[in-house]
Structure 1
């Protein structure tokens, strides 16, 4: 059953509960003279009971909105410094918001619980008019919370609740979804490697709880089963260069090292390439390497990395445009964005028997 979004408490609500005028509430909450100390204390007590928070923007006080969009990223801050995806995504978002004279409120937090708490606080304080939500989880509490709060939001990335690929209206008019087909992209990667003759393929994946990670893992498994490839698997990391290097080192020192490794971002791939070179592997003769997200990093290595490419800036623009359409009164929709395409460069080739001692 669809729940009615919660309503933010107002000065009028406090006045009714405390039995005073709205002007008295304003005086009490803003520390202005004109009310007794007893009234001031009673008003503040009622405000706390109702969960009222002061607005940080004058436009919000006038009922016109905050003119701000929120984006919270629940990832280790140490993994963001060199990862180009989010920088490109935010630049696309900002380009669209700037045209409408809207601001972007961005915050990095350690986990999902902290992210949800920020949403509650921003809602109570009227800090944002809408949200861009990234990294959908396999068991994600955020859609239910946003439904409860009634905050317009665009979820960027595939959601578990929508397995199909067609555009459609979401079940909640204030929620929209923009996604790309990770499963189809992974299938194109396996096609490329299989056609080259690779049979031992490992996917160095990102965070396992993310829906897009699971879709890539499941697609790899399905493609391997379809082709009868038993030595194909995925391992998880946190997207950092240190874990990418450690995972690669374990794979290359194992009993049956892979002939091809697919990395879930450019940072992992560059770290893996460095480890392979350090251990005497010739890329691509002894090992083929593919990065999920193309970037200047992928084009600057030797050899340059084969990579899945898409216009991430445009992806951010599309997400922002969806959210603005909702703020203009349209219902939330689910839209599939352009499928990432594989750019073959010098890091992939047919496998040769290793000449390592």
Structure 2
């Protein structure tokens, strides 16, 4: 196995002392700009990389940021949202030569334990916090640890960390207005995990929009799931078996919407002839399903880029702030139409 280049190798090749190499590579004063440039050029030619463990011991940055996801692992394999989000995050971090340390855990307690371990081991310089909760212990924990963080999603305004957000309430209002305008009065929201802040916001926004239209809780309601195709299909089957089934279903992700369309086909319920379907977060699944699914469209990768940019700004000493992501917009397709008069 080839030996890794050392500071001594760089010093010998550049014709300087080892201390000069250390000053140049750690951005410390003590060498001229010309010498610093020569040393860095030699280091790059030799393929030298800083030892992250040694940098942690010296108090220097680790060159990595972390992201922990406390969701059932089986729900992630087919959901495109997180793939697009991570793609955008990686685009920014790669340009900044910063690594992303990603971990999936079973619950919120395990997530908090990961933050404590990363902080103790100085594994990451900061973290991206996903899935803000209605009762969320993470902002206070990260503030106590002094671990810089950015929340991906809207948080409590009093939370001591930066965040990037999209207006879920306005997006849900767009959906209800579209379905109501088509004539639907019995609408069921197949929601995501209870306890997530965005799930709660969507449910409350749907209720407010329904109240403004004079629709009762029996007519417009939300049913929580774990975001998986299995629970999405099961929830669809249950509500369609009711004596007065909904004429429109709104799903909190693309995977559940496609699963719901499959259940409707199995039950012989034509879409959109008797049942209209709407998906949150458009994806290729929504566009290749027949009929194509009406969906909320936004630049999810762009949302990830914004989150990564904000975390880098926080690491550079910037103040906590709220950044607004692109507003989701509803794109009507073939899966929504007026309900039949008999319904």
TM range (shorter): 0.7 to 0.9
- CA change 1:143–1:171 in 2 (3 A) is closer
What SS is found at the alignment partner of 2:261? Answer: helix
Among candidates 134, 144, 147, match of residue 151 of structure 1:
147
After the TM superposition, list the runs of 4 or more consecutive aligned residues in structure 1 that deviate by more than 6 angstroms.
Answer: none
RMSD of aligned Cα (Å): 1.3
Task: Point out where structure 1 has 5 or more consecutive residues left out of the alignment.
Answer: 1-54, 163-169
What SS is found at the alignment partner of 2:255? Answer: helix
Q: Indicate if the aligned counterparts of 2:187 and 2:250 stay in contact, CA closer than 8 A.
A: yes
Partner of 1:222: 208
Among candidates 178, 183, 203, match of residue 189 of structure 2:
203
1:337 and 1:207 map into 2 onto residues whose CA distance is 22
Q: Indicate if the aligned counterparts of 1:97 and 1:320 stay in contact, CA closer than 8 A.
A: yes
2:336 is aligned with 1:348 = yes
Alignment of 1:175-254 (within 5 A): 175-230=161-216, 231-254=219-242
1:197 and 1:66 map into 2 onto residues whose CA distance is 56
1:235 and 1:67 map into 2 onto residues whose CA distance is 42
- CA change 1:103–1:354 in 2 (3 A) is farther
Among candidates 109, 119, 135, match of residue 131 of structure 2:
135
Deviation string for 1:173-209 (max 9, x for gaps)? xx20111111000000001001100000000000110
2:262 and 2:342 map into 1 onto residues whose CA distance is 17
Partner of 1:30: none
**TM-score, length-scaled by structure 2:** 0.83
Q: Indicate if the aligned counterparts of 1:157 and 1:212 stay in contact, CA closer than 8 A.
A: yes
Q: Indicate if the aligned counterparts of 1:56 and 1:125 stay in contact, CA closer than 8 A.
A: no
Task: Point out where structure 2 has 5 or more consecutive residues left out of the alignment.
Answer: 1-50
Alignment of 1:36-47 (within 5 A): none
Among candidates 278, 295, 308, match of residue 290 of structure 1:
278
Deviation string for 1:235-288 (max 9, x for gaps)? 000000000000000011001100000000000100000001110111001000
Alignment of 1:92-103 (within 5 A): 92-103=88-99
Alignment of 1:1-357 (within 5 A): 57-159=53-155, 161-162=156-157, 172=160, 175-230=161-216, 231-353=219-341
What SS is found at the alignment partner of 2:317? Answer: coil
Q: Indicate if the aligned counterparts of 1:202 and 1:262 stay in contact, CA closer than 8 A.
A: yes
Deviation string for 1:122-168 (max 9, x for gaps)? 00000000000000011010011001001110001111x22xxxxxx
Alignment length, in residue pairs? 291
Q: Indicate if the aligned counterparts of 2:139 and 2:159 stay in contact, CA closer than 8 A.
A: no
Q: Indicate if the aligned counterparts of 1:69 and 1:105 stay in contact, CA closer than 8 A.
A: yes
2:264 and 2:133 map into 1 onto residues whose CA distance is 32
- Quote the offset at 1:63 in angstroms: 2.3
**TM-score, length-scaled by structure 1:** 0.80
- CA change 1:253–1:113 in 2 (3 A) is same
What SS is found at the alignment partner of 2:222? Answer: strand
Partner of 2:15: none
Deviation string for 1:49-83 (max 9, x for gaps)? xxxxxx96222223221000000000000000000
1:304 and 1:61 map into 2 onto residues whose CA distance is 55
Q: Indicate if the aligned counterparts of 2:190 and 2:224 stay in contact, CA closer than 8 A.
A: yes
2:332 and 2:272 map into 1 onto residues whose CA distance is 12
1:186 and 1:59 map into 2 onto residues whose CA distance is 47
Q: Indicate if the aligned counterparts of 2:61 and 2:125 stay in contact, CA closer than 8 A.
A: yes
